[in-house]
Amino acid sequence: MAVLFDRNTIYCANAGDSRAVLYSYDRAQGGIKITPLSEDHKPCMPVEKKRVLQVGGRVDTIKGSMGQNLGPMRVWLMEQDAPGLAMSRSLGDFIAHSVGVIPDAEVMRFELQPEDKFIIIASDGVWEFLTNEMVAKIVWPFYLKNSPEQAGNAIVRAAATKWRENDTVIDDITCVTIFLEVDHQIPKIETAVYKKALINSSTEFPASGTHQVHPPRVSGDKSPSGSRSSPRQGATGGKAHHKKRGVHPNAASQPTSSPSFAGMTSNVPGTPGNQATTDQNNPSSPA
């Protein structure tokens, strides 16, 4: 799973069942709008299942002692109960690759809007028992306090608690929280000029007069000389790297009460990008 920021455009590349979700505040409805930035690649998806079957693989669940289905659909060798992978895209699994599991990432493009408030990127250990809506309820009070570290910690704790309540093991639980401040005053800049500026570590461009552009950063990147701190604050795996502030920088424009969470799901597809491969393999234990 990878999420790339290019000013107010974001690209999300995913291969597997980690997930990235964008949460926005809908003033008209007084609630939270949820936009998945990726799609979980599961063997039960028609397109994914078709590919596995075409190359001689098998899609089925684990069978119980009485032949009952246990757990999700998995990818198997036709004549063997292996590898039993519960996703249809993966990196480095050579046995699974022989029966249709591919490493190709699905890339989507999205344009950020002022109402977009935060992004959650997490491994399947988080999403196994926590829905997108549940995560919104967990994060919202910490967003109002501008505390991405506490939001990440709360998600990890909630996921671990759900695993203890529903299983005898705990899957990998990794979470990244990104709080957003979308600035639509960023000028349109020729790609070549923008790339040259990044190479030179400059953040000033002479488009319509001198105007500062602040590339988004997370996980404690230091601001280039002469620029402000990044307007986006991030926390990785419950450990935050950001400048703490007493109130949210846009406190005056933020709702002070809890929004409505009823019927808040809104699936807004992004624009497909070029196929690419990305790696995510950094699970962390909640224990």
Is residue 142 situated within a structural domain?
A: yes
Whether residue 190 is found in the same domain as residue 218: yes
pTM given for the model: 0.68
Whether residue 51 is found in the same domain as residue 181: no
Whether residue 166 is found in the same domain as residue 143: yes
Tokens of 233: 């604050």
What pLDDT was estimated at residue 283?
A: 35
Choosing from 30, 57, 88, the residue where a domain stops is 88
What pLDDT was estimated at residue 181?
A: 87
What pLDDT was estimated at residue 209?
A: 31
How many distinct structural domains can be found in the chain? 2
How does pLDDT run across 81-138, given as a tens digit for each residue?
Answer: 999 999 999 998 899 999 999 999 999 999 999 999 999 999 999 999 999 999 999 9
Locate the DSSP E strands across the chain.
Answer: 2-6, 9-14, 19-26, 31-36, 57-63, 69-77, 83-85, 106-111, 116-122, 175-179, 204-205, 211-212, 233-236, 239-240, 271-272
How does pLDDT run across 262-283, given as a tens digit for each residue?
Answer: 445 444 334 443 322 223 333 3
What pLDDT was estimated at residue 92?
A: 85
Tokens of 187: 């000028």
Whether residue 52 is found in the same domain as residue 143: no
216: containing domain: 2-38+106-272
How does pLDDT run across 39-50, given as a tens digit for each residue?
Answer: 999 999 999 999
Q: Does residue 116 sit in helix, strand or coil? A: strand
Whether residue 13 is found in the same domain as residue 77: no
Looking at residues 221-230, what average pLDDT do you find? 29
Q: With a cut of 50, say whether residue 192 has pLDDT above it.
A: yes
